[in-house]
Amino acid sequence: MHNARGWTGAVVVPALTIAVLLLGARDGRAEDISGTVMRTVMLSENTRLVGDVTCRVTGGPCIAFGAPNIVLALNGFTMTGQADPDTACKGTPTSTDIGISTNAQSNVGIRGPGVVQRFMADGILFMGTTRGWVQNVTTTTNCMSGIRINPTSSQISVESNVSVRNGASAAGFTCGGI
């Protein structure tokens, strides 16, 4: 749908009021995201949610950073995955279905307020990232951890977040809130 500065492979469902605006970096604005996402949204510049996001991505993250030195602002909205609202995955996660992945990009941030919920893996995953942060985000009912920092990430600041009702009971999935 977009050029090299926009989403990579994102599919948008128009009927569900999806707005994607590519605004130039010159005015300090960036991509706006809302609605239903069918394939991974790859961020290339500062991005914000302008409405709730329903994720139908399987086999990968809903949103992934595709460039360093950028910020995703949840802007008070909610990202929702495909897990059950009451039972999540009943303890058995699907490790690829992540809400937000830093995707080995450095110096990236996720700013709340906002909610990341019901993903079948981690809500937010810092993967291969040096220098990053997440602030004021609520993660809930995700099937692995609410926020995870993987072994190849460092200098990550996790501040003032709320992480509730996350976890898995399957073998090999040691996880929880953060």
Partner 1 sequence: MQGNTNSLRWNETSGNGYATGPATNFGIGLLATAFNNLIEANSAIGNSNGIVVFPGAANNQIRQNVIVGNPPIQVSNSVPTGGGTDIWDQSAPGTNFFLGNMCVTAVNAQCPTIATQAVPRKPGS
**Least Cβ distance, residue 33 to partner 1 (angstroms):** 25
Is residue 124 a contact partner of residue 134, using CB atoms and an 8 Å limit?
yes
Taking CB under 8 A as the binding criterion, the range among 9-17, 30-38, 79-87, 163-171 that sits at the site for partner 1 is 163-171
Q: Tokens for 68?
A: 């360093």
58 binds partner 1 (CB under 8 A): no
Residue that is written with structure tokens 């929880």 in the block: 176
Q: Tokens for 14?
A: 């128009």
**Least Cβ distance, residue 96 to partner 1 (angstroms):** 18
77 binds partner 1 (CB under 8 A): no
Is residue 12 a contact partner of residue 1, using CB atoms and an 8 Å limit?
yes
Judged by CB under 8 A, the chain residues 110 through 149 that form the site for partner 1 are 126, 145-146, 148-149
154 binds partner 1 (CB under 8 A): yes
First to last CA, the chain: 34
Torsion over CA: 76, 67, 134, 61 (sign): positive
156 binds partner 1 (CB under 8 A): yes
- Judged by the rule CB under 8 A, the positions of this chain that interact with partner 1 are 91, 126, 145-146, 148-178
